[in-house]
Structure 1
Amino acid sequence: MHKVTKTNQNARRFSILLIAAFAAVYIFWGSTYLAIKYAIETLPPFLMAGSRFIFAGSILYVWARLSKDYEKPSFKHWRTSFIVGTLLLLGGNGGVVLAQHYISSSLAALLVATEPFWIVLLSWLWLKGTRPNWKVAFGLLIGFVGVYLLIGGQGGNSAESGTGQILGAFLVIAGAFSWALGSMYGLRATTPKSSALTAGMQMLSGGLVLTVVGTLKGEWTSFSIADISANSWFALAYLIIFGSLIGFTAYSWLLKNAQPAKVATYAYVNPVIAVFLGWLIAGEFFTMQMLVGAGIIVGSVALITSQDKSEKGAAEEIEIHESNTPTGNCKTLSASA
């Protein structure tokens, strides 16, 4: 009886953690579109992103270092961190940040929604995972339609044209693929058991690469600290705390504890948050078409995250070490959890 009660408590605790992690990725990452827009007004893109992740990564690394279950990272751990950090932060985040110099944040949010396609495709073909069923495929399709309606409903924003728009669109799509590739690589590569340590190492590695790229581009000589606006400073602080410390850590934890297709649904929910904040803070339009699009997106997320009971028994089992969860109570979970 005691074992059953403890198991139920662990299951409830894990469910709460899962909901909180998804909420962090959905809401905080959705708000980063507007924050990035303000940050790069007076800050160079690669140095801004690099400093953001180095600062946040340092905090997480020290926090993990002082924890009781700290394990000294091996060479393989650092190798994985540099590969994943480069793919996620330089290729993924860096691509989106740079693209917003050429296209609107709304168009960037729409194009980022291609990331679930890459996640599901790579999970199936590369990781030899379960073939996507009709619910997942249909959910991905209508989710993309919903994002299109959502962003297309902004009647007051005109899209940029010419080679700049093509370049910006390419950067975002390439960034979405890079993020998906890094996520899939990190899922099976050798990483520390601690999610905080893993996130900190990846942010330190990716931030260092971003800073090197910014230095090679000559960004240190293209701006003055005295010219940085208060909005950019505030946006950078917001990106560090909510986008990196909380959001990225939650994402890293989800990759170890949830099905990839479910984790990828953030790319559909983030634009809803981004457009709402744009309307609330920046005075952007909010139309009926956008409301319809938001409703379709919510429906697509529900469709992708649902599954037939008959499929649960066939789901691939993924071992989750105790220290992968903050509570240290979950040992083995289904990939569909």
Structure 2
Amino acid sequence: MTGADWSLLVLLAALWGGSFFFIAIAGRELPPFTIVSLRVGIAALILVALLRLSGRPLPAGWRVWRVLFGMGLINNVIPFSLIVWGQTQIPSGLAAVLNATTPFWTALIVNFLTVDEKLTATKVTGIAIGVLGVAVLIGPSVFLNLGGDGLGALAILAATLAYGFSGALGRQLPRLGVAPMTAATGQMIAATTMMIPLAVLFDHPWQLPAPSWQVWAAILGLAAFSTALGYILFFRLLARTGATNTSLVTLLVPVSAILLGTLVLGEHLEPKHFAGMALIALGLVAIDGRVWRWVRGRGAAEAE
């Protein structure tokens, strides 16, 4: 991964870290399927407008749309719904810790489904260190409700498993010649097509009270920043760095959430936050591999 790739990864982590905050606000007044439908529907409208303004056509061909509907299902419909529901059962901090297991599932899945992203000792070690860092950063208190709210925890874990499969499936889009913005637009259209019937069937949104302006602001932030812009960056990273490296964003999401809380809400960082972020940085360095290769190179040169 280049410096530009890491910059995109950090930006994506900031956008997706904000999604936990937006979901927490929207979940006070709206049910899960309605939140997800609004999230992907508004994001689809934004992306279609951007695609038209840039003069690019919508995705074409049944092979492309087959992948896009698959991505919409396992990268949006299933995980978004599970995460929104899971956050009604467990603390958002615990949800972030569980969400940070995504690189494990992604690395394991792409190891079996691809030929060019095989597991290595440094990748496994780096991911383990990173997840430990997330747990330290959030703190042990978030695990107190794990026993009583096991279904919520299982929902978040199931969402991370779906993300792992989506990373492997999404690699097909660059090979089919689909640009990142086009891929993000098509995926949001597919997800919206699948989500609206679920919201109508289970949530009966026409019977819900009108949401407050705070909820609408959270929904717009969730759709425009965490989803529309976020998935443009996601597909760009997926094409440039592969599924395993892209999934590392979930290790940085809790960091961005705490930093946003400090800057926006006036919260204070504790020693555990610095310790957790240091472990996460160490894990990312291990997965990147360049420092380890440099150390081995220096050792070999000195041995000669």
TM range (shorter): 0.7 to 0.9
Structure 1 residues 109 and 219, CA gap change in structure 2 (3 angstroms): farther
Q: Distance in 2 between matches of 1:96 and 1:279?
A: 24
Match of 1:220 in 2: 205
Match of 1:273 in 2: 256
Partner SS for 1:129? coil
Q: AA paired with 1:194?
A: A
- Post-superposition Cα deviations, 1:132-155, rounded to whole Å, max 9, x if no partner, equal 2221111011111111111116x6
Match of 2:195 in 1: 210
**Residue 50 of structure 2 is aligned to residue 63 of structure 1:** yes
Q: Which runs of 5+ in 2 are unaligned?
A: 295-304
| Matching of residues 1-337 of structure 1 within 5 Å | 18-70=5-57, 73-152=60-139, 159-160=144-145, 163=148, 165-188=149-172, 191-220=176-205, 223-225=208-210, 228-278=211-261, 281=264, 286-307=269-290
Deviation for aligned residue 1:309: 5.8
Deviation for aligned residue 1:176: 0.4
Deviation for aligned residue 1:243: 0.5
Structure 1 residues 133 and 209, CA gap change in structure 2 (3 angstroms): same
Q: Distance in 1 between matches of 2:160 and 2:62?
A: 28
Partner SS for 1:30? helix
Structure 1 residues 160 and 231, CA gap change in structure 2 (3 angstroms): farther
Q: Work out whether residues 47 and 181 of structure 2, in 8 Å CA contact, stay in contact via their aligned partners in 1.
A: yes
Q: Distance in 2 between matches of 1:102 and 1:184?
A: 29
- Post-superposition Cα deviations, 1:189-220, rounded to whole Å, max 9, x if no partner, equal 56552211110110111123222222221341
Share of identical aligned residues, percent? 24
Q: Work out whether residues 192 and 198 of structure 1, in 8 Å CA contact, stay in contact via their aligned partners in 2.
A: no
Deviation for aligned residue 1:110: 0.3
Q: Which runs of 5+ in 1 are unaligned?
A: 1-13, 311-337
Structure 1 residues 191 and 64, CA gap change in structure 2 (3 angstroms): farther
- Post-superposition Cα deviations, 1:62-100, rounded to whole Å, max 9, x if no partner, equal 332453453651122222111111101112222111100
Q: AA paired with 1:147?
A: V
- Post-superposition Cα deviations, 1:33-86, rounded to whole Å, max 9, x if no partner, equal 111111211122211221121121122123324534536511222221111111
Structure 1 residues 191 and 103, CA gap change in structure 2 (3 angstroms): farther
Partner SS for 1:42? coil
Q: Distance in 2 between matches of 1:187 and 1:78?
A: 14
Structure 1 residues 101 and 219, CA gap change in structure 2 (3 angstroms): farther
| Aligned pairs, number | 292
Partner SS for 2:171? helix
Q: Distance in 1 between matches of 2:3 and 2:288?
A: 16
RMSD value, Cα = 2.5
Partner SS for 1:136? helix
Q: Distance in 2 between matches of 1:52 and 1:267?
A: 19
Deviation for aligned residue 1:181: 0.6
Q: Work out whether residues 61 and 196 of structure 1, in 8 Å CA contact, stay in contact via their aligned partners in 2.
A: no
Larger mean Cα displacement after TM superposition, 72-81 or 141-150: 72-81
Structure 1 residues 86 and 19, CA gap change in structure 2 (3 angstroms): same
Q: Distance in 1 between matches of 2:116 and 2:204?
A: 42
Q: Distance in 1 between matches of 2:197 and 2:76?
A: 13
Q: What's the TM-score once normalised by structure 2's chain length?
A: 0.87
Q: What's the TM-score once normalised by structure 1's chain length?
A: 0.79
Q: AA paired with 1:105?
A: S
Q: Work out whether residues 119 and 264 of structure 1, in 8 Å CA contact, stay in contact via their aligned partners in 2.
A: yes
Q: Work out whether residues 92 and 179 of structure 1, in 8 Å CA contact, stay in contact via their aligned partners in 2.
A: yes
Q: AA paired with 1:182?
A: S
Q: Distance in 2 between matches of 1:19 and 1:267?
A: 13
